[in-house]
Amino acid sequence: MKVYADNAATTKMSRTAIDAMLPYLDKFYGNPSSLYSIGQEAAEAMQNARETMARCLGCEAREITFTSGGSEADNQAIISAAVLGEKKGKKHIISTAFEHHAVLHTLNRLEKQGFEITLLDVHENGVVTPEEVASAIRDDTCLVTIMYANNEIGTIQPIAGIGEVCKKKGVLFHTDAVQAAGHLHIDVKAQNIDMLTLSAHKFHGPKGIGALYARRGIPLTNIIEGGAQERGKRAGTENVASIVSMAAAFEEACDHIDENAKKISALRDKLIDGLSKIPHSVLNGDREQRLPGNVNFCFEGIEGESLLLLLDQKGISASSGSACTSGSLDPSHVLLAIGRPHEIAHGSLRLTLCEWNTEEEVDYMLQVIPEVVSYLRSISPIWRDLAANKKQFIL
Ligand SMILES: *Cc1c(COP(=O)(O)O)cnc(C)c1O
C-alpha cells in the first residue's frame, strides 16, 4: 500500500487546480501587461483570481499581492514592517521561537542590522497567549509576527486575540498562515490581521506561487525590483497560470473547510489514539488547538531518520518534522522550542493528512509504525541501555 502522509510539506494538486491552469499555459499565454487582447485576457483572469482570493480572506482585491510562495511573502511582510518601523525609530520585533525559517532567518538578518528581536516562549503545548504578546509589546515595537498554525506540530495560535492586542497597542501584526489557509476559517478584518502569508502548494495548488495580504495603507517594500507589476510592489512577469490555479484551489478548499476538517480530524484522532499506545512515546503539541491533519510524535530510543527510511520501504511517505531541515542532523527547532530534549527530539515522526487519505491507510500505518518502532528499538544501543536500567527513560 502507498500512503502519502506528508501534506504539510506539500500537497498533490487537485483536478480543479490543474484544469484551471491549463488554458493559461496554452491558449491565453499573453503577457498581462500587454495591451492586445491575449494579454488582456490574462490580465482579466488574474484580476478574477485576485478577487476570489480576497473574498476567501475577507479583504479587498487590491490588498492581495502575488508572490513566488510563502517564503517570499514572509520576507516581504517582515521587511516592509521593519522599513516602516525604522522610519519611526521603532526597531523591536516580537515573534516566537518556533516560526518557519522564512520568518526566523529574515528576523536574524534584521537583528544584524540593529533590530532587537523578542522570541516568545511557546510552552510545552506549542501555544502562545495574547496576554504574553501584550506584555512583550514596547513603545518601540514595530511588528508582531506569529504563525497561524505550526507546520511541524500543528498547533493553532489564538490569532484573533493576538490581533486585538496588536490593534489596541498600534503595532502591525503579520501572520504566516501557510498551514492554515484553506484548512481553517480566516477573516483578516474580523481577526485584526494586518498582513498574512499563504502558499498554494499547501492546499492542493501549484508550487512556486503564493500571496501576501497587506491591509490597505500599509506600504510594501519591494523584495524583487524591476517592472511595475503588482502595483509596483513585486516586479516580474506574473505567473498567470499558477495564479489562476491557486485561486481555484483556494476557493475549493475554503468552500469545503468544515467537511474536510471533520473527515480529516477523525482520521487524525484514530492515528493519535493508536500511536499513543506505543510505550515511551509522546504526542507533540496541544491535542485540542491542533490542525485537523497533524500528527507528531516522539519515540524514545530511536532515530527519526531511520524510521522514515523504513517507512518509505513500506510505502509510507512521512517526515521527521520540517521538509526544509531534513538532510541536516540538527534536531527540529520546533521540538526544542517546546522543550523536548535533544535525544527525544531526534526520534520524531510527523504524519500530515488530507481529505484524500482513507481509513484503510490509517489502519495500515497503525499496523506498520509500531512494528518499525519496535524493530528500531531492538537494534538501538540507546534502547539497550534504557531497557537495562543503565539510563533513565525520559518519556
Ligand atoms: C511551507 C511553508 C512556508 C514556505 O512556503 P513556500 O511556498 O514553500 O515558500 C512558510 N511557512 C510555513 C508555515 C510553511 O508551512
Which of 10, 66, 67, 71 best tests ligand 1's pocket when mutated (most atoms within 8 Å of CB)?
71
Q: How many helices (H) and strands (E) does the chain have?
A: 14, 12
**Distance between Cα 199 and ligand 1 center (Å):** 6
| 140 and 92 Cβ atoms separated by less than 8 Å | yes
In this predicted structure, the answer to whether residue 326 has a pLDDT above a threshold of 70 is no
pLDDT band at residue 331 under the 50/70/90 scheme: confident
pLDDT band at residue 322 under the 50/70/90 scheme: low
pLDDT, average across residues 320-325 = 60
Name all residues whose Cβ lies below 6 A of ligand 1. 69-71, 74, 100, 102, 147, 151, 176, 178-179, 199, 201-202, 210
In this predicted structure, the answer to whether residue 325 has a pLDDT above a threshold of 90 is no
Identify which of 194, 220, 192, 380 has the alpha carbon closest to the alpha carbon of residue 300: 380
**Distance between Cα 236 and ligand 1 center (Å):** 21
pLDDT at position 63 is: 98
pLDDT at position 44 is: 97
For atom 3 of ligand 1, the residue with the nearest CA is: 70
**Distance between Cα 103 and ligand 1 center (Å):** 10
Q: How many CA atoms lie within 13 A of 283 on its CB side?
A: 20
| Second-level CATH architecture of 3-10+257-387 | Alpha-Beta Complex (3.90)
Q: Give the Cα separation of 292 and 270 in Å (integer).
A: 12
| 341-365 residue pLDDT tens | 998 999 999 999 999 999 999 999 9
pLDDT at position 321 is: 72
pLDDT at position 113 is: 97
pLDDT, average across residues 255-276 = 98
Give the bridge partners for 326, in sequence order: 328
**Distance between Cα 71 and ligand 1 center (Å):** 6
Q: Which atom of ligand 1 is nearest to the CA of 207?
A: 7
Single-letter amino acid, residue 359: E
Single-letter amino acid, residue 294: N
pTM for this prediction? 0.97
pLDDT band at residue 27 under the 50/70/90 scheme: very high
pLDDT, average across residues 154-162 = 98
Residues 232, 238, 242, 244, Cα dihedral to 10°? 70
pLDDT band at residue 329 under the 50/70/90 scheme: low
pLDDT at position 5 is: 98
Residue with cell 512556486: 208
Supply the mean pLDDT for the chain: 96
For atom 14 of ligand 1, the residue with the nearest CA is: 178
The residues near 387 (Cβ < 8 Å, ≥ 6 apart) are: none
For atom 15 of ligand 1, the residue with the nearest CA is: 151
pLDDT, average across residues 360-385 = 96
366: helix, coil or strand?
helix
Q: What percent of the chain has pLDDT above 70?
A: 98
Q: Give the Cα separation of 392 and 395 in Å (integer).
A: 9
Identify which of 178, 171, 211 has the alpha carbon closest to the alpha carbon of residue 194: 171
Identify which of 45, 93, 62, 100 has the alpha carbon closest to the alpha carbon of residue 213: 62
User: What's the alpha-carbon Rg for the chain, to the nearest Å?
Assistant: 22
pLDDT at position 221 is: 97
Identify which of 189, 240, 231, 187 has the alpha carbon closest to the alpha carbon of residue 64: 231
Single-letter amino acid, residue 329: L
Query: Could you state, in order of their start, the residue ranges of all structural domains in the chain?
Result: 3-10+257-387, 15-255
> Is pLDDT larger for residue 344 or for residue 126?
126
pLDDT at position 232 is: 94
pLDDT, average across residues 189-209 = 98
Which of 176, 186, 195, 207 best tests ligand 1's pocket when mutated (most atoms within 8 Å of CB)?
176
Q: Is 324 a catalytic residue?
A: yes
Q: How far is CA 368 from CA 17, 53, 275, 346, 373, in A?
A: 33, 40, 11, 20, 9
41: helix, coil or strand?
helix
For 110, the grid coordinates are: 534584521
Q: Give the Cα separation of 191 and 156 in Å (integer).
A: 14
CATH class held by domain 15-255: alpha beta
281: helix, coil or strand?
strand
Domain 15-255 in the same topology as domain 3-10+257-387: no
Q: Give the Cα separation of 32 and 37 in Å (integer).
A: 9
How do strand 172-176 and strand 141-145 relate by DSSP bridges?
parallel
